[in-house]
């Protein structure tokens, strides 16, 4: 009897140990392509955190910290950055990480057709291999956001050999140098990564496998967490916060995001922009903004788990332009503007991802704007498909959240500069480009704040993006999961995580 009990206990312990070796993460969407040069989704960045190391990372205070680069030094004129690289690092295919690999990756980010990193690295003119563990990045002008740019996808390193072997479809089987390597992907179902045994920081990795499961419905995600089918879920529905706090088996983390939730309007992206008054007339866009109560949207759509805002950074951010405060809702003024524009009852289609928060925002906006005379039709679209439609200009307005970057430039340049990959509105104004470049070339904070204030005033005249609020990242997870770092970029870092 005692022997049977002992065997049962051992089997139970072994089963628990085996289960704890797999970390199961529930995502709010299915990521787009798993190629850091081409990717553009937030959930993709969560996957990349386990798959692809970067030259730098950021800490809780948004300071760049070493990852594949161990140190850096600016030149006297701030037009070149020399990096010392970590030695003994290999890619998942066994290829060596060195200065030549860095040169290859930065040039790939800049030049690969369809790259979404080229705007982030626009000031980079060339990359020099100084020696095997030293690389120099040369710039056309001082570029203040460079370190934070290299702490995201533009700083991710992929295997040159694998990228050259499969140039057209590298994202289907990505090869990087992160703690986990790609195993399989089933679209809309799962992404499986397995532990890379030769990872340079392997002592900090405590799981054998990470499985990412895209589950659009936040209620289903939470149910899977409660049943033990998941260990961690991102973007908890705000309405579920109270019940999670009351659940003794679960823990909750809250971090204010670096980005924003907004509505991007097709003003010049395609001919469709001129087919509806919202796209072709700034007065109609102003009326639309005035029909909205941001605090009300936060309360109804987010259960208060967000900060109202009208810019690319929240009002608490040091770069927020105080000269352009949040406008109050004004239905009378909105109606007057529509009358002036000759369209008292404008109609347009609002495209939204099928995520729960996107759906709620669209419905609240639809109801609020109706009071001013707007007829808003909601078009719910799978997330990756919605990005493709936005890229082609096949939309009127688009509920689009941006996860944000440590430097405001990451929330601005690719959205407003001419012909940039995330410029879904299609705006192209030389004065805006000049201001954006000045903000990049200015190294002191006070000077950059002045530039952003001027840009905010210019953008407010046209309203290609109606900023609504800045979310709280809400995470729920098994209380036995320890070592979680809450960094405002909302990414899940597996280093140090234990069950």
pLDDT tens digits, residue range 172-231? 999 999 999 999 999 999 999 999 999 999 999 999 999 999 999 999 999 999 999 999
Reported as half-sphere exposure (CB side, CA atoms, 13 A), residue 487 has a value of 23
Q: Return the CATH superfamily for domain 260-471.
A: Dipeptide-binding Protein; Domain 3 (3.10.105.10)
Among 3.90.76.10, 3.30.460.10, 3.30.930.10, 2.40.50.100, name the CATH number for the domain at 52-162.
Answer: 3.90.76.10
3-class secondary-structure state, position 230: coil
Task: Give the pairing type, strands 80-85 and 124-131.
Answer: unpaired
At 99 the pLDDT is 98
Among residues 259, 489, 285, the alpha carbon closest in space to that of 374 is found at 285
The pLDDT tens digits of the residues spanning 87-104 come to: 999 999 999 999 999 999
Among residues 298, 283, 232, 309, the alpha carbon closest in space to that of 482 is found at 232
Span 110-137, mean pLDDT? 96
Cα distance between residue 477 and residue 251, in whole Å: 5
| For residue 7, pLDDT beyond 90 | no
Question: How much is the pTM?
Answer: 0.86
The answer to whether 396 and 281 are in contact (CB under 8 A) is no
CB under 8 Å to 439, separation ≥6 — which residues? Answer: 144, 408, 409, 412, 448, 451, 452, 455
The pLDDT tens digits of the residues spanning 232-290 come to: 999 999 999 999 999 999 999 999 899 999 999 999 999 999 999 999 999 999 999 99
Mean of all residue pLDDT scores within the chain: 94
At 5 the pLDDT is 39
Helices (H), 21-128: 42-51, 99-111
Cα distance between residue 35 and residue 475, in whole Å: 25
- Radius of gyration of the CA atoms of the chain, in A: 24
Strands (E), 201-259: 209-214, 232-233, 250-256
Cα distance between residue 442 and residue 160, in whole Å: 34
The pLDDT tens digits of the residues spanning 380-415 come to: 999 889 999 999 999 999 999 999 999 999 999 999
Phi-psi region of 320 (alpha: psi -120 to 50; beta: other; left: phi over 0): beta
Cα distance between residue 265 and residue 424, in whole Å: 8
Cα distance between residue 463 and residue 61, in whole Å: 31
Q: Where in the chain is the domain with CATH 3.10.105.10?
A: 260-471
Helices and strands: H and E segment counts in the chain = 16, 18
Among residues 239, 226, 212, 204, the alpha carbon closest in space to that of 478 is found at 226
Cα distance between residue 257 and residue 314, in whole Å: 9
In the numeric block, the tokens 């909105």 are attached to 334
Cα distance between residue 152 and residue 56, in whole Å: 8
The answer to whether 344 and 337 are in contact (CB under 8 A) is no
Cα distance between residue 368 and residue 282, in whole Å: 19
Local confidence band at 6 (pLDDT 50, 70, 90 cut-offs):
very low
Out of 4-8, 158-162, 193-197, which region has the weakest mean confidence (pLDDT)?
A: 4-8
Q: Where in the chain is the domain with CATH 3.90.76.10?
A: 52-162
Length in residues, the chain = 499
């Amino acid at each position: 009897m005692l022997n049977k009990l002992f065997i049962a206990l051992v089997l139970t312990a072994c089963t628990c140990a085996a289960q704890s070796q797999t970390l199961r993460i529930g995502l709010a969407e299915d990521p787009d392509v798993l190629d850091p040069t081409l990717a553009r989704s937030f959930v993709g960045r969560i996957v990349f955190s386990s798959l692809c190391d970067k030259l730098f990372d950021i800490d809780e205070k948004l300071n760049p910290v070493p990852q594949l680069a161990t140190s850096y030094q600016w030149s006297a004129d701030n037009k070149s950055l020399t990096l010392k690289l970590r030695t003994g690092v290999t890619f998942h295919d066994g290829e060596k990480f060195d200065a030549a690999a860095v040169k290859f990756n930065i040039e790939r980010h800049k030049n690969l057709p369809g790259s979404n990193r080229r705007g982030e690295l626009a000031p980079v003119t060339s990359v020099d291999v100084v020696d095997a563990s030293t690389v120099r990045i040369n710039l056309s002008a001082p570029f203040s956001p460079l370190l934070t740019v290299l702490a995201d996808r533009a700083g991710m390193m992929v295997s040159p050999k694998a990228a050259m072997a499969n140039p057209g479809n590298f994202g289907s089987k990505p090869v990087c140098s992160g703690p986990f390597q790609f195993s399989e992907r089933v679209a809309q179902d799962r992404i499986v990564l397995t532990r890379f045994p030769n990872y340079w920081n392997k002592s900090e990795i405590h799981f054998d496998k990470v499985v990412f499961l895209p589950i659009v419905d936040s209620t289903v995600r939470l149910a899977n967490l409660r049943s033990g089918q998941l260990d961690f879920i991102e973007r908890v529905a705000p309405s579920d916060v109270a019940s999670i706090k009351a659940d003794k088996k679960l823990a909750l983390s809250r971090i204010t995001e670096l980005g924003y939730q907004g509505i991007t309007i097709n003003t010049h992206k395609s001919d469709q922009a001129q087919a509806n008054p919202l796209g072709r007339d700034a007065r109609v866009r102003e009326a639309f903004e005035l029909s909205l109560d941001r605090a009300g949207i936060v309360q109804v759509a987010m259960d208060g788990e967000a900060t109202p805002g009208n810019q690319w950074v929240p009002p608490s951010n040091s770069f927020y332009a105080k000269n352009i405060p949040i406008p109050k809702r004004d239905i009378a003024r909105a109606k007057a503007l529509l009358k002036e524009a000759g369209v008292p009852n404008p109609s347009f289609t609002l495209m939204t991802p099928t995520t729960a928060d996107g759906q709620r925002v669209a419905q609240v906006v639809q109801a609020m704007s109706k009071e001013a005379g707007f007829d808003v039709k909601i078009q719910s679209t799978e997330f990756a498909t919605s990005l493709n439609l936005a890229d082609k200009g096949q939309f009127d307005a688009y509920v689009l959240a941006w996860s944000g970057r440590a430097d405001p430039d990451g929330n601005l340049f690719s959205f407003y500069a001419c012909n940039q990959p995330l410029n879904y509105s299609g705006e192209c104004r030389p004065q805006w480009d000049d201001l954006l470049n000045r903000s990049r070339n200015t190294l002191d904070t006070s000077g950059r704040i002045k530039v952003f204030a001027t840009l905010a005033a210019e953008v407010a005249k046209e309203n290609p993006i109606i900023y609504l609020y800045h979310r709280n990242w809400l995470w729920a997870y098994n209380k036995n999961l320890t070592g979680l770092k809450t960094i405002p970029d909302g990414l899940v870092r597996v280093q140090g995580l234990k069950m």
